[in-house]
Amino acid sequence: MENLIPLFGILAGIIIPVSVFIWLYYDEKSKRDAVIEIAKHMDDPKKTEQLLTLFDERKKEPIDYRRGGVITIFVGIGLYLLGATALGALLEGVGLLVGVIGVGTLIAGYLYPNTSQEITNAVERFEGD
């Protein structure tokens, strides 16, 4: 009986990611099938291309490192506080590490412009000098 808990922990670490990949595959498959059915009944190829861009879920905007940095800082703070109150010095160290990574990401967000307006402003400042 004592050996079942670690076994279930190991199996959960394998089963959960595999099930998520299978779920995402079938979710995307149904979207692809819907696009194919709609495209069969469309006469204009330009409308088909527009339809494909509607289903494209990728973000058009660049990654906002400042937002990610702030989130990572607060995750680090949460881990540190959890370690300080309940789980010990190891988790405090992990929390500090994650927080420092968040600070680095936040600094990178300010050093590298990420929106098109910030890039345009940086180019104009460079050309103005």
Cβ–Cβ contacts within 10 Å for residue 89, how many?
9
pLDDT in tens, 53-71: 766 655 566 677 888 889 9
- What does the pLDDT read at residue 96? 92
93 pLDDT more than 70: yes
Q: Which residues of 1-33 are buried (b: 16+ CB within 10 A; e: fewer)?
A: eeeeeeeeeeeeeeeeeeeeeeeeeeeeeeeee
pTM of the prediction?
0.47
The full set of domain ranges for the chain reads 1-58, 60-129
pLDDT in tens, 18-36: 999 998 888 877 777 777 7
Tell me which H or E stretch contains 30.
helix 4-40
> DSSP class of residue 63?
P
102 burial via Cβ count (<10 Å: 0-12, 13-18, 19+)? buried
